[in-house]
Chains A and B, each alone.
Chain A
Amino acid sequence: MEILTQIFIQPFFDMIGDPILFLQVIWEGFVTGILYSLIAFGFVLIFKASGVFNFAQGIMVVFAALTLVGLHENGVPAYVALPITIFVMYALAFSVEKFVLRSLVNQPDIILFMATIGITYFLIGLGESIFGGEPKVMITEELLLPYGSITFFDDMLILQEIDIAASIIAAISLIILGLFMGKTRIGIALRAVADDHQAALSVGVSLNTIWVVVWFISGIIALITGIMWGAKSDVSFALSIIALKALPVLILGGFTSIPGAIVGGLIIGVGEKIGEFYWGHLVGGSIEGWLAYMIALVFLFFRPQGLFGEKIIERV
């Protein structure tokens, strides 16, 4: 009986009993969730354009952040290092298309997936060779990101300025990318490729260009995520693990849906924080890792194609 009380009653009493703390938990979940959304967006873009789950997205986060910090460590000012890093991500996208994807056109999806695993290990090796494996400190001040906190209710609700900035930047990035996808010529071409490769090719859309564009956009997303998450801890190869938290987001939101990535990220982010905080101790704590998948699976019971995924009906 007591365990049932602890599961079904006590957590809600705790939420009501300390609403400010509850608000704090939701805020932390929101900040985490919006970063998950951003990472998931990168996955969705590449999945829509090439039908492949980009295993390299995580290491792209590390590679982008390491390039930025590494350049700065070598005396390049932040305002110069940032555009150079963006250019490096473009060069990466160009190279991936030219040397990996181009020769794999029309190959089964699993081959493309394996290729992204290859890209992952290549980038790990390249990153370690150039920048070393030591953790680096993100150059938040040099990038003019705010530092400090804003407090409410007698210091009981603490909002970090870097988190507010991360949320705003992530939200703006998502809006810009959404507009890019919906309103620009290249965005519409990208959607055409996502819908049907052959039909898009027949009307003159260059698949190669589209792949360079999506990998470049994913690279930019990786850079933003790397900066924000790097500011929360440090920049090291362990950051790539965080990017894989986007997987339950994609299961939940659907691999092909951009709104799904955004909403899914927020649900997973807030859900795992609330779960860990109010229920985690009942099973020994540290449940965030698998709770995200549980949340996604529960949603899949009701919507197997994900929240916003396309319902595919194949006729026999």
Chain B
Amino acid sequence: MVNYAGKTSGMAIPLLSALNGNPILRRVSFFWLGLYPALGVRALIIFLFESKKGVSMKNKYFLTLIASVITLLWLSQGIMAAKGIYVPLFTYKTGPFAGSGIPSGNGMADYLTMLNERDGGIGGVPLIIEECETGYNTKKGVECYEKVKGKNPAIINPWSTGITLQLIPKTPVDKIPVLTMGYGLSAAAVGSVFPWVFNYPSTYWNQASAIIKYIGYQEGGMSNLKGKKIGFIFLDGGYGKEPIPLFEELSKELGYEFFKIPVAFKESQNQSSHWLKVRKEKPDYMIMWGWGVMNPTAIKEATRIKFNMDKFVGVWWAGSEDDARPAGKAAKGYKAATFHGIGQDFPAIQDILKYVVDRGKSQVKDRSRVGETLYMRGVFNSVLIAESIRKAQEKYGKRVINGEEMRWGLENINLTSARMAEIGLPGYTNPIKGTCDDHANNGPIFIQQWNGTGWERVSGWIHSMDRVRPMLEKAAADYKTKNNIPNRTIPCS
């Protein structure tokens, strides 16, 4: 994915410009570009060997080492001076969560590639897209961060709550904003405490409260939740545990009984005893906070105990086609939260097909899977990146922007309905308007339902409960105290 076209060396720009649009020739030219310094080093060594016969072997090795270091520095300077906006994308296309990571990663890359191919980037500045594979592993994610942070990244997309939690203390120091689109630390929505973290379009807590609201609607009113029993099955880790404080708090206020069933990652495909517990508890509703292979297994197990699928609601990360498809028609009725549209009908998606997929510049293997839920989730992430870059360019000029400028762009993003139509995604999601204090937009969700072969929208936009924001502020204040975070000094304008 690395595309340093014409940025590595000044002398290559005219050549590469001429070759623009021909990936094979471009790659060949890169090979030669890489070869120049290597040949230079080799020439230097030959020169040393031939002209200075009196030089000892030790010195020759030393001189060779010096020459290599100079070459590497020259090369890296060329990369650093790249005339493009560097957007690293953390992906997990390998490992046990690859099933979810592949479509989201593809959607993310394809939208940005489409902007490069169709418009030449954003504001005339090309986007330099580089993927870093994390395998959904926190340690590898931090390694990716350390690898890319020196290349003037405009933004970091961790795509993992675990990685996000590790990066939150680091990014203010390096002045790189973090976009945790629909995941991460819910309290990071409080911009006064977390100026460098953004979790548009909504937090897990917002979502959790909206799901409870939806269940309340199903029961004929929130007051009818009193005495109901709601079960929560979740991936036993930071991500799965994130909404528990909110569910427990709401259970006290609304009077529903709440019980938890953790699923260890290693038991993701071995959930029969967990679902027998569900059967024993006889809940009125089940909520699932799963990821990866846990989701299809849970849906299958729910069908096995004949749980009423109409009363089984998943988090927005448990609402992809791959989650419900394995259970097929038996999963009919299963519901999941989401916050965006799906399908290939959007003009922007048609452009992705035209400029990226059909030109062989996408990693999507099956054209028909473009537009599926997780692919569109990846697109959503890149729409936020692109619109924040545009916003930053409005203020700082149509040029390469750095992390600080991008942070301002994210904080001032204004994705209106009109703007969505303009970029080819009419009605794609609820409008998003950033503010200095709210980095999550307090966005609403809607519920989709599996009809046996695909998803159908079954609710309008559901906003989170008002009581969530004070809870987020309290959690942010606690985090600030616990971690000695200084007061925000970045101006809001």
Contact = CB atoms under 8 A, between A and B. Distances in A.
Contact of A286 (B263, B300, B306): B263
Given A242-B270, A285-B261, A288-B270, A24 B96 contact: no
B123 interface: no
Interface string A249-273: 0000000000000000000000011
B94 A128 contact: yes
A28 B272 contact: yes
B311 interface: no
A197 B272 CA distance: 42
The range of chain A's interface size is 35 or more
Nearest to A151: B306
A32 B306 CA distance: 20
B322 A134 contact: yes
Contacts of A138: 326
A237 B135 CA distance: 12
A21 B292 CA distance: 29
Contacts of B267: 286, 288-289
Contacts of A158: 304-306
Contact of B273 (A28, A132, A238, A241): A28
Interface string B446-485: 0000000000000000000000000000000000000000
A229 interface: yes
B266 A277 contact: no
B273 A280 contact: yes
Interface in B216-274: 236, 260-270, 272-274
B399 interface: no
Nearest to A135: B99
B177 interface: no
A28 B99 contact: no
A232 B297 contact: yes
A276 B278 CA distance: 13
Contacts of A242: 269-270
A19 interface: no
B293 A236 contact: yes
A133 interface: yes
Interface in B269-315: 269-270, 272-274, 276-277, 279-280, 292-293, 296-297, 300, 304-306
A29 B269 CA distance: 14
A311 to B, nearest CB: 32
Interface of A: 18, 21, 24-25, 28-29, 31-32, 124, 128, 132-135, 137-138, 149, 155, 158, 160, 229, 232-234, 236-239, 241-242, 245, 272-273, 276-277, 280-281, 284-286, 288-289
Given A18-B280, A241-B265, A285-B261, 9 more contacts: A28-B276, A124-B94, A133-B102, A137-B326, A232-B269, A236-B96, A239-B269, A277-B276, A286-B263
16 contacts: A25-B273, A28-B273, A31-B272, A133-B94, A138-B326, A234-B322, A236-B98, A237-B94, A237-B95, A238-B96, A241-B269, A245-B266, A272-B273, A273-B276, A276-B274, A280-B273
